[in-house]
Amino acid sequence: MTTLEQVWRDEWGRLLALLVRRTRRLDLAEDALAEAFETAARRWPQDGIPDNPAAWLLTAARRRVLDRLRAEAVAARKQPLLAMEEDSRMRHRTTPDDDLLRLVLLAAHPSLSPESGAALTLRLVLGVQTADIARLFLVGEATMAARLTRARKKVVAAGVPLAIPGDDVLADRLDTVAKVAYLAFTAGYAPGSGPDVVRAELAGEAIRLVGLLRSNNPAAQANPSLIALEALMLLQHSRRDARVDGSGRIVLLPDQDRTRWHRAEIDEGMALLQSLTGGGAARLSSALAADYLLQALIAAEHARAARAQDTDWVVISDFYRQLDDLTGSPVVRLNRAVAVAEAGDVPAAFALLDGLEDSLGRTHRLPAVRAELLRRAGRDEEALASYRLAVGMCGSDAERAALQRRIDDLG
């Protein structure tokens, strides 16, 4: 990575947050910062890298903003300004670090759809290019550009504030930020269709977002939803290299080469979990925090097992039971059935699948799990039929290949 790319990754969000706060013009600030980076790409190779790259870029961007404002003043164009808290009604102390949090809260405001919020957050806070966001979310570049434009317009027209709300609202808003980050993460981790098994880049960006936010702001740093989410994402992301084999085929958890898991990330995730659960009951602020915590504890249990056969499925199925009680989600129920079967109680696992057709009838996962349970019960013919059904419904190339291998093994 070149110095400029590194500066883009590290500083884009902070610089944009500063510019937006000063100009109150999202469009102008974004354009000016992008132009400053373009200038840097031309000048730095000739002139050398400045001592303080971020300050250089900020100065260049500010000049652009001033030029544009002067030009606009001549044309007397009226531009809608972002809603800013005035000093008189300031509800929170201000530090330079709050700028980034304001920008995150703006981009992940609950008045935007989670999909738009996720895209806008990647663009504004992390500086990910529109073409890359489009690729990561599996839509065309024009579609993504239009979605981003609509989201920016909504933010300005609806008067979404560039402000940090009071503590009672802030906890809720940080939960929205966590949801948006996890949406981006899952879009990278488990693509619903297409040839890629993992788009690790996007998953990595989502982790970077939460890490950046937590290291910049005390409220975010102490927020249980964000802590649990960061642990969860680190633990899941640590397996990325083992999830695919040399020929791009998906490798399921029991078959993964655990020496390829990223140990440093696992340790980091475990330490975060320890900080939440240390000394007994976890300090949780919301159902969302409990949800992420339980998912992280399940991932941690897998990480703890040196070999697949060492996995403590009884502990894991108990975490899934709690998660099922908490969320009532059919996907959780399905995963719980798998864990219960692994713990040795196949009849109980079958019972957990009852009634899932209504909500999960369109995904391949239900017949795939049923097939697995049938195979364990020694009902091979029924298992084959269920695997074939799953293959027919599966949109991901890698997962379909994994299912096909099961059929070949049985047949």
Partner 1 sequence: MTKYLVLLAGREGEWEAATDEQRAGWHRDHLDFGRVVGDDILGGEALAGTDTATTVRRRSGKTELTDGPYAETAEQIGGFYLVQAPDLDQVLAWCELLPEIYTLEVRPCIEVDLSA
Total number of residues binding partner 1 (CB under 8 A)? Answer: 16
Of 126 and 162, the one with the shorter C-beta distance to partner 1 is: 162
Q: Is 89 in the site for partner 1 (CB under 8 A)?
A: yes
Q: Is 157 in the site for partner 1 (CB under 8 A)?
A: yes
According to CB under 8 A, which residues from 158 to 187 bind partner 1?
158-161, 163, 165, 169
CA–CA distance, 3 with 268 (Å, rounded to integer) = 27
Q: Who contacts 29 (Cβ-Cβ below 8 Å, separation ≥6)?
A: 16, 19, 20, 23, 61, 65
Of 84 and 271, the one with the shorter C-beta distance to partner 1 is: 84
Nearest-approach distance from CB 280 to partner 1, in angstroms: 34
Of 219 and 340, the one with the shorter C-beta distance to partner 1 is: 219
Nearest to 398 by CA among 254, 188, 249: 249
Q: Is 315 in the site for partner 1 (CB under 8 A)?
A: no
User: What is the SS3 assignment for 87?
Assistant: helix
For 278, phi and psi rounded to 5 degrees?
-55, 140
Q: Is 75 in the site for partner 1 (CB under 8 A)?
A: no
Contacts 24+ apart (CB under 8 A), 285-290: 285/171, 285/175, 285/223, 285/224, 285/225, 286/171, 286/172, 286/175, 286/224, 286/225, 287/326, 288/175, 288/178, 288/179, 288/225, 289/175, 289/224, 289/225, 289/228, 290/326
Start-end of H helices in 159-199: 167-189
Nearest-approach distance from CB 25 to partner 1, in angstroms: 15
Of 105 and 391, the one with the shorter C-beta distance to partner 1 is: 105
Q: Which stretch binds partner 1 (CB under 8 A): 157-165, 270-278, 374-382, 388-396?
A: 157-165
Of 66 and 81, the one with the shorter C-beta distance to partner 1 is: 81
Question: Site for partner 1 (CB under 8 A): which residue of 42, 46, 70, 86?
Answer: 86
Nearest-approach distance from CB 73 to partner 1, in angstroms: 15
Q: Is 114 in the site for partner 1 (CB under 8 A)?
A: no
Nearest to 335 by CA among 372, 376, 305: 372
Q: How far is CA 289 from the centre of its chain?
A: 15
Q: Which residues bind partner 1 (CB under 8 A)?
A: 78, 83-86, 89, 109, 111, 157-161, 163, 165, 169
